Structure 1
């Protein structure tokens, strides 16, 4: 099932019981743990392959094969009967925002159903008022909210500063849209950040105005929202340590043994490393550094790219190249079919960077062997990325198909010809099939069936020989790999419509996208992603086999236990 929201789910964790240490004590590390009598899916073959038994020893997989051979090979075995349950490699998070998930724990939850309860703007205002009262927040202190979705509100519009001012006239307020690409500020917040009628739109951004006036409504999109998000991050620094462990437990409870923070400022990178160095990481955590600090990050000797230190590493650099399709700021070659706020002609969205700026970033990264992860939704942005790739390779005299694993994050509306280019140039897409459920109906309306049905084309990519991954982009959608598998297999929208039947994949292919393909994305295919001898003993145990249940029943599968290098880091009570 979909998590209703981060806060309520974390409360449930207290009842379920998050294991803080191994089920097997340190005194037993000499023994090998034998898992048997279940569906042990190895994930190391093109078609599903099962093993009778798997043995973990000293945090690694020591054996995969028959039960008889395992018992013969190991003299000191701690036997763990799976009782028909399913064991898979631990899920690897291809793209989410660990830090933002943590930050939301101190914010007002404004998500619509089925994630939250908000149905209209009055609900938003009621939640804001209640939050101020329950938290005893004094006048003048900032209040942040997250997750509202104008498309799911009864009014079908964004709230404005006037709406928020009705209930919180004496607090600066900023509400982050569910897409993460825009938000709404009230009058005090706009005043504090000096946004007014005279403020011009920044390059790659938009400040929405009331009709026939230059007065801001409070809606700031793309680069125009950056000052508000930066302030939000600065205000949340003091609470980072408070929510760090709870956030890990949330990821672990969803079967994730390797998480990602999809765009991390340098101060937060150092915070994550400090937590890792004092032994507070239960899962592996991967950061992507921000592109605004690309050159200085590369020169910073304290940042070690692609190498774990106590369970944490900076893998590469994140570039934001366009916006949100449901927010109508993704950049397309053909216009949206519906009205776009602030645009009156040829409304095709916004690139976040000029081609020149993107070219420069690619040259700098490729010159320094820095792996790039580029946020990109619209096909026009994909064209820009391909052009930047070609330009950098030409300038640096590098092969177009060098194994640099440039990752196109989302790539939601990449065209068929662009997928062929990805394969030709050794670039990989990380898709986002949760969009089919949450915004599939919206995309059909805004973009038409042809484009909407080719959303996150997993099936086409797999046929071309690509190694696509599939993610939640939390906080945009909840951390829930089981639900992500479900959306990849079914592609069903909120209304029950199928959003591109031809792009549905098998459950096995959907699992590969969050195991071995995700490991490949991070250059970890020799370390994780399959149940193979010598790899880390990162496991997730499910109550049912996703390969055997009816496709629409996949989202009901429960995570029973998550194991990181032989240590149980989450266990659901009464199910083991």
Structure 2
């Protein structure tokens, strides 16, 4: 697998975007005629190719034969693809743009193939080295990201005692790769007033040493929120510094529309200020946080579903449960292995009560606010379906109104729940990277039957749903080509196929990051296919994913990313 994350963050900055603002190039520019390659339109149920495509002033003005293109646009700049493949620019269905940016101010604690961490001593050495190299004074917070207890030799989370060995005088918080938990050292716990007397909050867990009531340092779900909130405040000053590098990183992976899967009001304002200053080279879609839903709906300056200079806030994100590999996702049947902080009937944690979710759905649906709901376990999906039914009944509106409520991850949605999605006009956004990164872990924790139905893309497609497929970065790295590979192959780290019956074709996998992604974000009239009148958002690949061996898809390279006719990565 390709080395990812920080190496590419640097390389994207060095060789990436041309420093051109879209607003500076639009006008009566010469047309560009692309030909002599596999121009895959994505505009049909089965693969169709065009001989030529013409872009003018940021829009697609022609798709068809080369002869007609040359006749109608004889003065166009001709771009010979030389046998390469041109597709609609990739649309990121769900990641965390802001968190990706924030990782640039943190210690990288990822295991292979993303990073180099193999054990807890590696983590401690990296933390110690980071403090020394960055000359961080005592008393200043140090943050790390991406550690995965399941990939450590010790097969456990680090504890506050571990971290205290190397950083006793700095408050420390290490974010788990799932994004649903983390570990603080003694000083970090003290700063957030977490002690033996602190009760676990509703929807969360403060892990304890078995022989005492002392916190181990591990905080899960709602218990981690104060730590993450403080981290975001501390790193906010670096947003502008890392903004360009982050969008260049996305563009280097063929993405012309990026995603920020949960954005607070201050960051929304920051993104809009960057957009209004002409600093966007690609589009960015944000989801506002559910904790601010009431204030957001009353804010007349916040216009949902409307692009302004390449940025829009599409809807609201609700976090309804946790992480399956972190054993905090909420299931109807228990985990098969030991769960921290639980001794009996360990089925994970809903992040919100049914009443709280019901209230959010009514509030959002009344204002036609699109909801995106984080659900991993099937019990949580049941809660969301109930909330949908309750809101529609309360507001006297049809269950199948075109709201496009999106179930983010829907990792372990059952077959009957997929059928309900069809009836209620809900759509899943899957996460097949889990098959690779944690497929083996899911078999161990959940059993083969449940594990093999994770992210059931083929079943959903056969039912007529329009599933998308995402990276959830920083949980897994930004790499749409890799998500295609995982959807097609569903191979784990141990080379085990996780759910052979849910493998999709390369074309179906591409639809999940083009056509279907545009649909789920209400952008189907703007993006997602190579169709006359749509934006000229393109990605050029060195090989055609439909024409290489399935296991070779992940080796395909992004040669160029074009946003509204302007090359933003090459």
Deviation at 1:11?
Answer: 1.9
**Partner SS for 2:345:** coil
1:20 and 1:183 map into 2 onto residues whose CA distance is 37
Give distance in 2, aligned partners of 1:207 and 1:570.
44
Secondary structure of residue in 2 paired with 1:338: coil
- Give 1:322 deviation, angstroms: 0.1
| 1:479-498 paired onto structure 2 within 5 Å | 479-498=478-497
The answer for the alignment partner of 2:232 in structure 1 is: 233
Offset at residue 26 of structure 1 (A):
4.7
2:4 match:
4
Q: Partners of 1:550 and 1:202 in 2: how far apart? A: 49
> For 1:437-495, what per-residue CA distance to the aligned partner results, in whole angstroms no more than 9, with x for missing partners?
00000000000010000000000000000000000000000000000000000000000
Counting matched residue pairs gives 569
Please identify, of 438-447 and 71-80, the stretch whose mean Cα deviation from structure 2 is larger.
71-80
8 Å CA contact retained: 2:59, 2:533: yes
Offset at 1:134?
Answer: 0.5
Residue 291 of structure 1 corresponds to 290
Conserved in 1, the CA contact under 8 Å of 2:26 and 2:58? no
Equivalent residues of 2:13, 2:248 under 8 A apart: no
TM-aligned CA deviation for residue 3 of structure 1: 3.8
How many angstroms apart in 1 are the aligned matches of 2:362 and 2:426?
A: 16
Secondary structure at 1:76's aligned position in 2? coil
Secondary structure in structure 1 of the residue aligned to 2:115: coil
Which position in structure 2 is the counterpart of 1:157?
A: 156
Separation (CA, whole Å) in 2 of partners of 1:107 and 1:137: 12
> Does the 8 A contact of 1:4 with 1:115 survive in 2?
yes
> In structure 2, what is the equivalent of residue 37 of structure 1?
36
Contact kept in structure 2, 1:22 and 1:569, CA below 8 Å: no
Match of 1:197 in 2: 196
Once residues 3 and 286 of structure 1 are traced to their aligned partners in structure 2, the CA distance between those partners, rounded to angstroms, is 27
> Do residues 351 (structure 1) and 368 (structure 2) align?
no
Structure 1 position 29, deviation (Å) = 4.4
1:4 positional shift:
2.9
Matches within 5 A, 1:83-232: 83-232=82-231
Q: Distance in 2 between matches of 1:511 and 1:555?
A: 13
Please say if residues 316 and 372 of structure 2, whose CA atoms lie closer than 8 Å, have aligned partners that are also in contact. yes
Tell me the secondary structure at the aligned position of residue 438 of structure 2: helix
For structure 1, the residue ranges without an aligned partner over 5 or more in a row are 572-576
Q: Whole-Å Cα distance in 2 between the matches of residues 61 and 18 of structure 1? A: 21
Tell me, yes or no, if the aligned pair for 1:3 and 1:480 is still in contact at 8 Å.
Answer: no
For residues 502-533 of structure 1, what are the alpha-carbon distances to aligned partners after superposition, in whole Å with 9 as ceiling and x for unaligned? 00000000000000100001100010000000
1:10 positional shift: 1.8
Q: Tell me what 1:550 maps to.
A: 549
CA contact (8 A) 1:323 1:331 kept: yes
Aligned to 2:388: 389
Does the CA-based 8 Å contact 1:379-1:415 persist in structure 2? yes
**Residues of 1 paired with 2:183 and 2:215: CA distance?**
10
Q: Secondary structure at the match of 2:308?
A: coil
Task: Report if the CA contact (8 A) 1:20-1:568 is conserved.
Answer: no
Partner residue, 1:403: 402
Match of 1:379 in 2: 378
- How far residue 214 of structure 1 moved from its aligned partner, in angstroms, is 1.0
Is 1:536 matched with 2:535? yes
Give the equivalent residue in structure 1 for 2:413: 414
1:365 aligned to 2:364? Answer: yes
| Residue in 2 that maps onto 1:47 | 46
Contact 1:459 1:504 in 2 (8 A): yes
8 Å CA contact 2:16–2:568 kept in 1: the answer is no
After the TM superposition, which residues 46-65 of structure 1 pair with which residues of structure 2 at under 5 Å, given as runs?
Answer: 46-65=45-64
Partner secondary structure for residue 105 of structure 1 = helix
Question: How far 1:31 moved relative to its partner?
Answer: 1.5
1 CA distance for matches of 2:67 and 2:560? 25
Matches within 5 A, 1:458-497: 458-497=457-496
Give, in angstroms, the shift of residue 20 of structure 1.
Answer: 2.5
Deviation at 1:27, TM superposition (A): 9.9
Q: SS of the counterpart of 1:273?
A: helix
**Residues 398-449 of structure 1: per-residue CA shift (max 9 Å, x gap):** 0000000000000000000000000000000000000000000000000001
Cα deviation 1:228-256 (Å, max 9, x = unaligned): 00000000111000000000000000000
1:64–1:533 Cα contact (<8 Å) kept: yes
CA distance in 2, matches of 1:110, 1:476: 12
Helix, strand or coil at the partner of 1:88: strand
Residue 13 (structure 1) shift: 2.6
Q: For residue 301 of structure 1, report the CA deviation from its aligned partner.
A: 1.2
| Partner Cα separation in structure 2 for residue 456 and residue 288 of structure 1 | 22
| Per-residue deviation, residues 64-87 of structure 1 (Å, max 9, x unmatched) | 000000011113110000000000
Tell me the distance in 2 between the aligned counterparts of 1:435 and 1:415: 17
Contact kept in structure 2, 1:2 and 1:480, CA below 8 Å: no
**Whole-angstrom distance in 1 between the partners of 2:3 and 2:103:** 15
Supply the distance in 1 between the matched residues of 2:191 and 2:249 (Cα, whole angstroms).
Answer: 34
| Match in the other structure for 2:437 | 438
C-alpha distance in structure 1 between counterparts of 2:290 and 2:488, whole Å? 34
How far apart, in 2, do the equivalents of 1:380 and 1:356 lie?
15
Deviations, residues 127-150 of structure 1 (Å, cap 9, x unaligned): 000000000000000000000000
Question: Whole-Å Cα distance in 1 between the matches of residues 518 and 27 of structure 2?
Answer: 29
Cα distance in 1, alignment partners of residues 295 and 394 from structure 2: 21
**Cα offset for 1:360?**
0.3
CA distance in 2, matches of 1:2, 1:341: 33
- Structure 2 distance, partners of 1:3, 1:464, is 36
Q: Is the 8 A contact 1:2 1:483 kept in 2?
A: no
State how far apart, in whole Å, the 2-side matches of 1:27 and 1:244 are.
23
Unaligned runs of 5+ in 2: none
Looking at structure 2, the residues matched to 209 and 26 of structure 1 have their Cα atoms a distance apart, in angstroms, of 58
Name 1:277's counterpart in structure 2.
276
1-side partners of 2:55 and 2:487: how far apart? Answer: 31
Q: Conserved in 1, the CA contact under 8 Å of 2:252 and 2:561? A: yes
